[in-house]
A and B are shown apart, each in its own frame.
Chain A
Amino acid sequence: MSETSTQREPSSVDTGTAPIVHPSSRSPMNRVLTTVVRSREIAIALALLLVIAATTVTTPSFLFSSNSWRDLLLTPAILILLAVGEAVVVITRNVDLSVGSTLAITAYLTGRLFVDQPGIPIVVVFLAGIVVGGALGLVNGLLVALGRVPALVITLGTLYIYRGLVLTWAGSNRINASDMPDGFLGLGTKTILSIPVLTIIAVVVLAVVGYFLYTSRSGRDMYAIGSDPEAAKLYGLKVRQRVVGAFVLSGALAGLSGVLYAARYGTISSGAGVGIELQAVGAVVIGGVAIFGGSGTVWGAAIGAVLLVTINRALPILGIQDFWQQAVVGALILGAIVLDRVLSARRSRKLIEARDAS
């Protein structure tokens, strides 16, 4: 508000019609509760619990064996990171298909750093992975923002280019666990208070990104851009900057995932993470992030990632054949999209009805 505003009498417009009703009669507590209960995130979390419960009933060792609790939390960690980055990109009405290749590059980079620079501090390796991933994301972002070519096409291109880079660089080389220090590999399996370190990293990243998207202006800008890019331009939002930012974040998180991948699996070849980008997109869609941007949360995407990974682990235990395992995942993605359409159609109909009623 400028200083001059105090001189003006805030006059009220007399419409001569009904008195002004208070728009929201529900108490804040009530509202928060309804929102939470109706939220998409809760629905997926319930589905997740259902899968875990069903599998545990048939095969108790799924949850109650020595390593099973750890595996349950540990396995999704990498996909959570990728899904968080992917969700941010999808919210801006773009998509990043290059995250799997980025992961491969930084995973191999991690191994090479340990091989070529013995004694390199682990922190430096982490930073290197994040920075290189971020730089690859920056390339994607600049191409999308400046090239005005759909992100699908750009990142499909960089998916192959980045993969080609790592193929050329690594050739048929393979980095083994013995090439990397124990302190680093330990991260892949270590737990704190029975929670794996990798999972803690993933959850911290998730919390930070989620908080940023919800409370910062630039985070809100991203939703606006995804909701209507043309309107965002007219609003004077920094559309290019935000889109580039989303891709850099996605790249950086893919870079971080690469480092964690090296720690987790110990063996790195040029084929690391092939096809994982589609799992990331799948997790985002299952998690309720609209594929045309503008709505959804990283929390949903993260739960979607856990659900996807857990189902993939549970189905073989339940004795379901390979083909059907794939089909279930496919059905889940299609189901999520159909659900989105139905829900949004219902929502807009309700909103229009509410308008007509008033």
Chain B
Amino acid sequence: MATGEGAPVLELREVAKSFGPVAALTSAGIRVDAGSIHALVGENGAGKSTLIKIVAGVHRRDAGDFLLGGEPVDFGSTAESKAAGVAVIYQEPTLFPDLSVTENIFMGRQPLGSGRRVDRRAMYAEAEGLFSRLGVHLDPRRPAEGLSIADQQIIEIAKAISLDARLLIMDEPTAALSGVEVDRLFAVARSLRDEGRALVFISHRFDEVFGLCDTVTVMRDGAYISTQRIDETSVDEMVALMVGREVGDLFPKTPASIGAPVLVVEGLSSAGVFHDVSFEVRAGEIVGLAGLVGAGRSEIARAVFGVDRYDSGSVRLKGDPVAPHSPRAAIRAGMAFIPEDRRKQGLVTDASVARNVAGVIRSSLSKAGFLTQKAESSAAGPWAGRLEVKTGALDMDAATMSGGNQQKVVIAKWLATKPSLLIIDEPTRGIDVGTKAEVHRLLSELAGEGLAILMISSELPEVLGMADRVLVVCEGQLTADIARDEATPEAVMRAATRTLEAQR
């Protein structure tokens, strides 16, 4: 598949990069050939994102070689890397919501007409051409606001193609995509490969890595570990290389004694979102909330916690009714809620770890209305320690941490409120294998201590492995309540699509 002739499109050797006292990369490397889709895998915090950002010109390396098409390069800005034919699609697409999708594609290098004026007609025509080539139905004049993540990624890809990029890097592009959208993305990726471009694909989903890529490079702790052809390796081998140690049980659920009901939800309804939802979660129990994306799982959780309104029904915690539409009342009653989008909803990324952890218990920490940094740190210390958050110090900014560590900080933040119920939405999305197991072990441990846990997850193995009971949501209704020993992938999927089939 690889052309084999000439220099590789991208070659990095012995690259090092530190942010203050934290070494993100020690001796990282990768070699990507033209006409190849190259997977870059590694645990969260292994340095993949940093490596990508060096190639993209966001960061400058401290040491090492960086060759593009055999030529040594040194990018000081993203504009330089773009000009050299590198296009990067970030995990979270970066578009300008106010501007049209066409302007988003061509921003900074619009086709110019006479007098160096932007030629809008040519721009729209070119955008339509790109869209029809990618097989998407998008009005080139519509604003980027409100686009689905999948369409936003298509815009990013259209951008890369219009740049005529020889190297296209995709950082976890499939994290938020549905099956069809993933297929479409892969079809596009393959056609780009066949045109002789080089692609780097970062993903935590091994089935995708094996389905799409031809070569794989493993990174660990900021260093290069190995590069192999995909058909000469296996998932087990890759996982072993990534973690550098034996991965124990991925879902280390330990049995816990189930106590009295903690959360009792009865007849919860919200017009158009969910209908007549009743369930309970007992002390020491992990209840999985499964279902297809968009079925209303997160919405139910948000209503229970009081973020969203509901029309009728009741929520009781340890027998006491919880006031609706008041997260404050929910917290006081003993609920903790860890949302899916931890960056936006769960973490103050500009603040220190200690401040984040101490955030929700501020009022109990303050002395006579004053809150000292010392009080924050001493409250945060034990929690961060218990969760093995890998940060230089508690005063490090949460924004600079990896996704797995961010998730741990969010969990620590809520544990500090000493809740009796923990609602956690997609606990391990975007988290690597090693950290995943740690998060699972932690949840299991917490249940063992008598915490009631309501866990929403799109990953079926996670639900089946962790939950004592699985509740399945389909189009806003609970369609099944399956006990642990009866929960099979087939049973859950059948319930998750039940009403869909009934309607057809």
Contact with A along B125-146 (1 / 0, CB 8 A): 0001001111101111111011
A228 to B196 Cα, complex, angstroms: 33
- Find the A residue at minimum CB distance from B103: A220
Interface residues of A in 304-358 (CB under 8 A from B): 347-348, 350-352, 354-355, 358
Interface centre among B95, B98, B109, B137 (most CB of A within 10 A): B98
CB-based contact A294/B97 at 8 Å: yes
Identify the closest chain B residue to A358 (Cβ).
B137
A235–B80 Cα distance when bound, in Å, is 10
Residue of B81, B140, B143, B187 near A24 (CB, 8 A) is B140
Q: In the assembled complex, how far is the CB of residue A170 from the closest CB belonging to chain B, in whole angstroms?
A: 42
Q: Which of B355-387 contact A (CB under 8 A)?
A: none
CB pair A13–B133 under 8 Å, yes or no, is: yes
Asked if A235 and B145 sit within 8 Å, CB to CB, the answer is no
Known pairs A15-B135, A23-B131, A24-B140; A234 contacts B96 (CB<8 A):
no
Q: Which of A1-57 contact B (CB under 8 A)?
A: 1-2, 4-5, 8-15, 17-18, 20-21, 23-24, 31
Which chain A residues border B196 with CB–CB below 8 Å? 8
Quick check: is B344 within 8 A (CB to CB) of the other chain?
Answer: no
- Chain B contact residues: over half helix, strand or loop, or mixed? loop
- In the complex, given contacts A13-B184, A220-B110, A236-B80, what are 15 additional A-B residue pairs having Cβ atoms less than 8 angstroms apart? A1-B164, A13-B188, A15-B184, A24-B141, A216-B117, A220-B99, A224-B99, A231-B96, A234-B88, A235-B94, A235-B107, A238-B79, A350-B146, A351-B143, A351-B145
Chain A residues with CB under 8 Å of B135's CB are 12-15, 17, 20
Q: Are B184 and A221 in contact (CB under 8 A)?
A: no
The 0/1 profile, CB within 8 Å of B marked 1, for residues 213-255 of chain A is 0111100110110111011111111100000000000000000
Cβ-neighbour of B195 out of A9, A217, A220, A236 (below 8 A): A9
CA distance A120 to B110 in the complex (A): 44
Min CB distance A272 to B, Å, is 36
| Nearest chain B CB to A298 CB, angstrom units | 16
**Would A224 and B96 count as touching, CB distance under 8 A?**
yes
What is the CA–CA distance of A232 and B79 in the complex, to the nearest angstrom?
A: 10
What residues on B are CB-neighbors of A235 within 8 Å?
78, 94, 107-108
Q: Are A294 and B98 in contact (CB under 8 A)?
A: yes
10 tightest Cβ-Cβ pairs between the two chains A and B: A351-B146, A236-B79, A294-B98, A231-B94, A227-B96, A236-B78, A15-B135, A23-B139, A215-B117, A227-B98
Q: Are B99 and A11 in contact (CB under 8 A)?
A: no
B226 lies within 8 A of chain A by Cβ: no
When the two chains form their complex, are residues A294 and B57 in contact, meaning their CB atoms are under 8 A apart? no
Q: By the criterion CB–CB under 8 Å, are B94 and A230 in contact?
A: yes
Would A236 and B82 be within 8 Å (CB), given that A20-B135, A21-B137, A224-B107 are in contact? Answer: yes
B151 within 8 A of A: yes
Could you list some 27 contacts between A and B, CB below 8 A? A5-B164, A9-B195, A13-B134, A15-B135, A15-B187, A20-B132, A20-B135, A20-B137, A23-B131, A23-B139, A24-B140, A215-B117, A215-B118, A216-B116, A217-B108, A220-B118, A223-B96, A223-B98, A224-B99, A227-B96, A234-B94, A235-B78, A235-B107, A236-B57, A290-B98, A347-B145, A347-B146
Residues of chain B within 8 A of A21, CB atoms compared: 137
- Assess whether A191 is interfacial by the CB under 8 Å rule: no
A227 and B195 contact, Cβ closer than 8 Å, known pairs A24-B141, A220-B118, A237-B108: no
**B98: A residues at CB distance < 8 A:** 223, 226-227, 290, 294-295
CA distance A224 to B106 in the complex (A): 11
Taking CB as reference atom, which chain B residue is nearest A354? B146
Task: Looking at the assembled complex, report how far the CB atom of B484 sits from the nearest CB atom of chain A, in whole angstroms.
Answer: 35
Q: Which residues of B contact A237 (CB under 8 A)?
A: 79, 107-108
Most buried by B among A13, A15, A20, A355: A13
Chain B interface residue number, banded: 35 or more
Chain B, residues 292-326, CB within 8 Å of chain A (1/0): the string is 00000000000000000000000000000000000
Q: How many whole Å from A181's CB to the nearest CB in chain B?
A: 38
Given contacts A227-B98, A294-B97, whether A11 and B140 have CB atoms under 8 Å apart is: no
Bound together, the chains give a CA A214 to CA B137 distance in angstroms of 26
Complex interface residues of chain B between 57 and 100 (CB less than 8 A to chain A): 57-58, 77-82, 88, 90, 94-99
A217 touches B187 (CB 8 A): no
* Residues of B with C-beta under 8 A to A347: 143, 145-146
Give min CB distance, B281 to chain A, whole Å: 31
CB neighbours (8 Å) of A24 from chain B are: 139-141
B247 at the A/B interface (Cβ < 8 Å)? no
Closest chain-B Cβ to A46's Cβ sits at a distance in Å of 24
Contact of B140 among A23, A227, A228, A230 (CB under 8 A): A23
CA distance A232 to B57 in the complex (A): 14
Q: Which residues of A contact B96 (CB under 8 A)?
A: 223-224, 227-228, 231-232, 294
Residues of A with C-beta under 8 A to B88: 234
Closest partner residue, chain A, to B88 (CB atom): A234
B208 adjacent to chain A (CB < 8 Å): no
Cα A355 to Cα B138 in complex, Å, equals: 10
Q: Is B148 interfacial (CB 8 A cutoff)? A: yes
> Complex formed: what's the CA distance from A17 to B103 in Å?
27
Q: Is B112 an interface residue (CB 8 A)?
A: yes
- Determine the distance from Cα of A10 to Cα of B184 in the docked complex, in whole angstroms: 17
Tell me the smallest distance from the CB of A33 to a CB of chain B, in Å: 14
Cβ contact within 8 Å between B78 and A348: no
Complex alpha-carbon distance, A233 and B107, angstroms:
12
Residues of B within 8 A of A348 (CB): 145-146
CB neighbours of A227 from chain B (8 A): 96-99
Decide if B147 is an interface residue (CB 8 Å cutoff): yes
With known contacts A24-B141, A236-B82, A221–B108 Cβ distance under 8 A: yes
CA distance A295 to B143 in the complex (A): 11
Measured in the bound complex, the distance between the Cα atoms of B97 and A230 in whole Å is 12
Query: Nearest-CB distance from A36 to chain B (Å)?
Result: 14
**Which of B96, B131, B137, B184 has the most A CB atoms < 10 Å from its CB?**
B96
Q: Is the CB of A228 within 8 A of B97?
A: yes
What residues on B are CB-neighbors of A351 within 8 Å? 142-143, 145-147
CB distance B94 to A228 under 8 Å? yes
> Nearest Cβ distance between residue B189 and chain A, in whole angstroms?
10
CB distance from A202 to the nearest CB of B (A): 23
**Cβ of B194 under 8 Å from chain A:** yes
Task: State the CA gap A157–B77 with chains docked (Å).
Answer: 32
Take A220-B110, A223-B96 as given contacts and tell me if A12 and B145 are in contact as well, using a CB distance cutoff of 8 Å: no
